[in-house]
Amino acid sequence: MAKGYKEMLAEADALVQSVSGDEMFARQDDAGVVMVDIRDPRELERDGMIPGAFHAPRGMLEFWIDPESPYHKPRFAEGKTYVFYCASGWRSLLAARVAQEMGLDARSLRGGFGDWKASGKPVAERDRPGR
C-alpha cells in the first residue's frame, strides 16, 4: 500500500485546523459558521446530531461542494466557515482537507460527535423528510 490511513490523517492534521466542541458550542449562534455532519444516515438516526447542523454524506461531499456538479448544494457556496464532524474526528479531518482543497474555509471538530455528546452538549434528532 502506497499510503495508509494513518499517514493520510497525519497529513490532513498538519493542514486542517481542528476546533474543540467547547469552541463550537460557544459559537453555535454564529451565522458565519456551518456545522456539517458527514456521518452515515443510520448514525444520525441512531445517535442524533448537533442541533442546526447540515447533513452532507461523506460519499457525496465533493459533488455537493463543486458548483459545476449536477449535485451541487448551494449551502456550500455561502462563503462561510464549514466545520465538519463525524463520530470520532477521523472522517471529518479527511473531509475538511478535501473541502479546503476545493476552496472552502474548512475545519474539523476534534473528537467528533462522540466527544460532543459525551460532554453533555445538546443533541437533536435527525430531521427526516415528511416529519
Q: State percent of the chain over pLDDT 70.
A: 96
What was the pLDDT predicted at 128?
Answer: 59
47, burial (CB in 10 Å: exposed 0-12, middle 13-18, buried 19+): middle
* Residue of higher predicted confidence among 54 and 129: 54
Q: Is a pLDDT exceeding 60 seen at residue 71? A: yes
Q: Residue 86: pLDDT band by 50, 70, 90 thresholds?
A: very high
What was the pLDDT predicted at 130?
Answer: 42
Right CATH number for 19-118 from 3.40.250.10, 1.20.1630.10, 3.40.50.12780, 3.90.1300.10? 3.40.250.10
Residue 38 has phi, psi (to 5 degrees) of -100, 10
Residue 112 has phi, psi (to 5 degrees) of 60, -165
Give the pLDDT mean for 26-30.
93
What was the pLDDT predicted at 100?
Answer: 97
What was the pLDDT predicted at 127?
Answer: 64
> What's the CA gap between 90 and 9, in Å, rounded?
7
